[in-house]
Structure 1
Amino acid sequence: MPPLPDLTLIVAATQQMGIGRNGTLPWTGLRKEMAYFARVTKRLPRASLPPSTTSTNSNPGSTVGGQLQNAVIMGRKTWESIPERFRPLPGRVNVVISRSASSSPSASSTTPAGGEGGDDGKGVVMAGSLEEALRYLGDKREGEQGVGRVFVIGGAQIYRAALGLREARRVLLTRVRSEFECDTFFPVKLDERDGETGWRQSGQAEMDAWVGEEVPRGVQAEAGTEYEFEMWERVD
């Protein structure tokens, strides 16, 4: 069996790790933050790029030879929270976790979630659990259509399941500094002031190197909301 791919969780959360309210984001209008999410989740790891590709990877949504893409894993509710015209998220393998999905996800059974596959007609991969999704992506890595990085993008239950796996190595956190009322929370409080958490915050240079761009420094302000980009890595 191929090894399971490493996981990077990507999330925007308040100081108290709030990530949602009434099934949607508590904040609106963070266009630059959403553009950052799109770039990061599309950009292929540098080691997988052919020699002719520039180091900046100016077209991060492209594939190598029409084959290689990153993958984004999400729960059904997160999928349904994405406006229909924007799903599936382009330039990435979309994997949706649903209890009603087939127990054996495969390329041949790729179908639109809930019958809605977006304008490109490619649909998404449905899986009954996170483990099934990872096995599918591990097999895909070994085949002709490879997978680059694998991102978990929500919601809370999928984050919790991912954090329980040793393959979860990294969290890309947008730390929302403004106050918002939330009813859904990220399972781990990433704050080194709270003592030993099993996670450490990476330095700016480390984050830039992994993300593949110079990530904006310090507190950003947009649509009346302040936020800051961080990266956390698991301490073995």
Structure 2
Amino acid sequence: MPTTTPATAAAAAAAAALPELTLIVAATQQMGIGRNGTLPWTGLRREMAYFARVTKRLLPPPSPSPSSGGTSSGSVVQQQNAVVMGRKTWESIPQRFRPLAGRVNVVVSRSMLSSVPSSSSSSSSVVIVARSMEEALLKVQQQQQQQEGAGGRVFVIGGAQIYRAALEVKEARRVLLTRVRSGFECDTFFPLKLVEGAEDGAEEGWRRMGQEEMDAWVGEEVPRGVQVENGTEYEFEMWEKV
């Protein structure tokens, strides 16, 4: 029988506690997400506001235990969710808006430096560089262990290679999809075909959740049905791994 050492036990515990991933993406009916290195659509301000609210919204804090007296000890930082992205997605964010405010920004890149300075000296957002999705999860886990309250949520925000890497790890549990119903030509695609209809979705191992389930997880009443903005039709959906 193999011997379990304290080190291997600690490593196993750390691996088991890795945060789950939620992929958040806007995609066409054919799962197109980009063209010529940018979004195929423009002017979806309400959709972008939804993205910001969802990725910033924190989990409810846990109830303090009687022994803790409602206080925490040690060095803690303000609780934040994390957004994980590739280098190209990071660079596509206008410089004045990066890092994305109020969130831990994690950039997966093999070429960037191990730390990235904030473009704004007033930004309180943490910026982390990781060389792989697995390393990104470990670094987010370490960051969350320093946070007061429940660990924040972790969102993967693109691009295509980072979405693919996220879907290859067991921690990927959910996709928040803005389904763009208007026709746009794309050359970059989301690596998972989330087709309409429960039977088709189940074939891929994913199931579209109901409106009430989406509202409960997101933390707000998500707009129902097809939205129209700047001439573009879209609809909010949530899919989970079955």
Q: Same fold (TM over 0.5)?
A: yes
Partners of 1:85 and 1:119 within 8 A in 2 = no
> Quick check: which has more Rg, 1 or 2?
2
Q: Identity percentage over the alignment? A: 72
Cα deviation per residue 1:89-121 (whole Å; 9 max; x = unaligned)? 00000011111246xx6xxxx432xxx633535
Q: Which residue of 1 aligns with 2:227?
A: 220
Q: Which deviates more from structure 2 when the two are superposed, residues 92-101 or residues 162-171?
A: 92-101
Note the C-alpha offset of 1:37. 0.1
Unaligned ranges ≥5, structure 1: 52-64
Note the C-alpha offset of 1:49. 6.2
Q: Are 1:186 and 2:193 counterparts? A: no
Q: Which residue of 2 aligns with 1:14?
A: 28
Alpha-carbon RMSD across the aligned residues, in angstroms, is 2.0
Which secondary structure does the structure 1 equivalent of 2:153 belong to? strand
Q: Which residue of 2 aligns with 1:174?
A: 178
Instruction: Give, in whole Å, the separation in 2 of the partners of 1:19 and 1:230.
Output: 15
Q: Which residue of 1 aligns with 2:127?
A: 124
Instruction: Give, in whole Å, the separation in 1 of the partners of 2:238 and 2:54.
Output: 12
Partners of 1:10 and 1:172 within 8 A in 2 = yes
Note the C-alpha offset of 1:144. 4.4
Number of residue pairs matched by the alignment: 212
Which secondary structure does the structure 2 equivalent of 1:159 belong to? helix
The within-5 A match list for 1:135-146 is 135-144=138-147
Give the TM-score, by structure 1 length: 0.84
The within-5 A match list for 1:18-37 is 18-37=32-51
Which portions of structure 1, spanning 4 or more consecutive aligned residues, are displaced by more than 6 angstroms?
none
Give the TM-score, by structure 2 length: 0.82
**Relative to 1, partners in 2 of residues 1:145 and 1:97: Cα closer, same or farther, differing over 3 Å?**
farther
The within-5 A match list for 1:44-63 is 44-46=58-60, 48=61
The within-5 A match list for 1:40-189 is 40-46=54-60, 48=61, 67-101=78-112, 110-112=115-117, 117-121=119-123, 124-144=127-147, 147-189=151-193
Which secondary structure does the structure 2 equivalent of 1:169 belong to? strand
**Relative to 1, partners in 2 of residues 1:50 and 1:83: Cα closer, same or farther, differing over 3 Å?**
farther
Unaligned ranges ≥5, structure 2: 1-10, 65-75
Instruction: Give, in whole Å, the separation in 2 of the partners of 1:154 and 1:119.
Output: 25
Note the C-alpha offset of 1:45. 1.4
